[in-house]
Copies of this chain bind each other. A is one copy, B any other.
């Protein structure tokens, strides 16, 4: 397999699980069966590797948001969004773990500042597009609240409450936006 790809895959996993600061490149290289020099060769530095990874997860988010909206009502679109959010939250905890880490941790925040802004703007914009059709006047605030709600759910589910009742929460949220 492509060593560059291997490196990215392993690093993504480790950064998500252990955090960026707590994952030495030596460990990444070892697990990826790759020499240390290769990282600086491909990504210039550890920060470079992180930025590459973050960009990829952004692309994934863009893809998720790019479903076909043409024949759907705004509420149907919200439901679809929620469906994919909850199913991915259950399927790929690490993905959310990683993104929360990167945003909350001051050091990574700094490294990724421009990329984080770009991504959040995109998400806000896409959400607002939907709410504009429902309640144009309060679309911005409602979008923010919508996003905050989902982030909060992810946070509680991943980080805080072991017995978080995800199913029931999903039902409640669905009822609210359907």
**Interface SS of chain A:** helix
Chain B CB within 10 Å, residue with most, of A116, A156, A165: A156
- For the complex, count residues of A whose C-beta is within 8 A of B: 43
| A144-B156 in contact (CB<8A) | yes
Q: Which of A146-162 contact B (CB under 8 A)?
A: 147-153, 155-156, 159-162
User: How many identical chains are in the complex?
Assistant: 4
- Whether a CB of chain B sits under 8 angstroms from the CB of A71 is no
Q: Contact check: which of B142, B148, B173 meets A155 at CB < 8 Å?
A: B148
* A93 CB, nearest partner CB in chain B, Å: 12
A15-23, A50-58, A60-68, A75-83: which lies at the B interface?
A15-23
- Whether a CB of chain B sits under 8 angstroms from the CB of A164 is yes
